[in-house]
Amino acid sequence: MNNQKNKSEQKWLIATTLMVVLSVTAVISGISGESLQKTFAENTTALKMVNPNQSTSKEFWINTVHLDGNTNLNPGVKCDTCPQNTPLHPAEHPPANSTIPVGGGFRITKPNKVGAWDFRSFTFSPDQIVVNQGDKVTLHFIGVQGAHHVVTVQGVDTFELMRGQIHTISFVANNPGTITYICHVHLPNMVGQILVLPKAA
Ligand SMILES: [Cu+2]
């Protein structure tokens, strides 16, 4: 008799526990659904704020960057800096008839004593910026890679930039169109553009 009573108590306990768990899950799902909706609403509001008629202050951080293609004449040369299990490259030789634009923006380094060689390309990151006419634009140029640069922001400023320096300029984008920024030491590829969107009539 006692056994039967205990069993029915156990069943009741299991059923109650299950109901509580289900209720809590439903509440949590409801909350996360609600917060997802809120996040979506906030994002939608943020998207609406991109309006060509609104002039604001905009700030950008522009890094000097070079991309390096490192490889080796000799297949199977151990690569100390590669992540584990990265397959070794097959033998790669510098192209015999590669035509690299002059201007300092590209550099090919001949194979060294262990056969390693490199192809380098300079760039700005970012190299495309969009602002609205009338925006107050602040650009921070950051000397990260490359020892020395000479940068011109068209119609605004020309300055030297060494590795480890940050040079800041500010201006108002009065006219719609394109403002180019270039590095005279690394042409033709170390260039960027600021697109100034016109105010709606
Ligand atoms: Cu440069």
Specify the pLDDT at position 34.
54
Q: Is the dihedral of CA 47, 139, 65, 176 positive or negative?
A: positive
Q: Reply yes or no on whether the pLDDT at 125 is more than 80.
A: yes
Read off the pLDDT band of 85 (50, 70, 90): low
Q: Which residue has the higher pLDDT, 177 or 38?
A: 177
Angle at 39 between CA 37 and CA 45, to 5 degrees: 105
Dist. CA 200 → ligand 1 center (Å):
36
**Residues 6+ positions from 187 with CB-CB distance below 8 Å:** 101, 103, 104, 105
Specify the pLDDT at position 22.
46
CATH topology of domain 57-65+124-197: Immunoglobulin-like (2.60.40)
Read off the pLDDT band of 55 (50, 70, 90): confident
Dist. CA 107 → ligand 1 center (Å):
12
Query: What is the share, in percent, of the chain residues with pLDDT greater than 90?
Result: 54
Specify the pLDDT at position 119.
94
Lowest mean pLDDT among 8-12, 19-23, 55-59, 145-149: 19-23
**Residues 6+ positions from 118 with CB-CB distance below 8 Å:** 68, 69, 70, 71, 107, 108, 109
Read off the pLDDT band of 79 (50, 70, 90): low
Using CA atoms, how far apart are residues 191 and 151, in angstroms rounded to an integer? 9
Q: Which residue has the higher pLDDT, 44 or 27?
A: 44
Using CA atoms, how far apart are residues 55 and 57, in angstroms rounded to an integer? 7
Dist. CA 150 → ligand 1 center (Å):
6
Dist. CA 116 → ligand 1 center (Å):
24
Dist. CA 135 → ligand 1 center (Å):
27
pTM of the model: 0.69
Dist. CA 32 → ligand 1 center (Å):
48
Dist. CA 27 → ligand 1 center (Å):
57
Dist. CA 122 → ligand 1 center (Å):
7
Q: Which residue has the higher pLDDT, 82 or 4?
A: 82
Q: Reply yes or no on whether the pLDDT at 27 is more than 50.
A: no
Dist. CA 119 → ligand 1 center (Å):
16
Q: Which residue has the higher pLDDT, 53 or 68?
A: 68
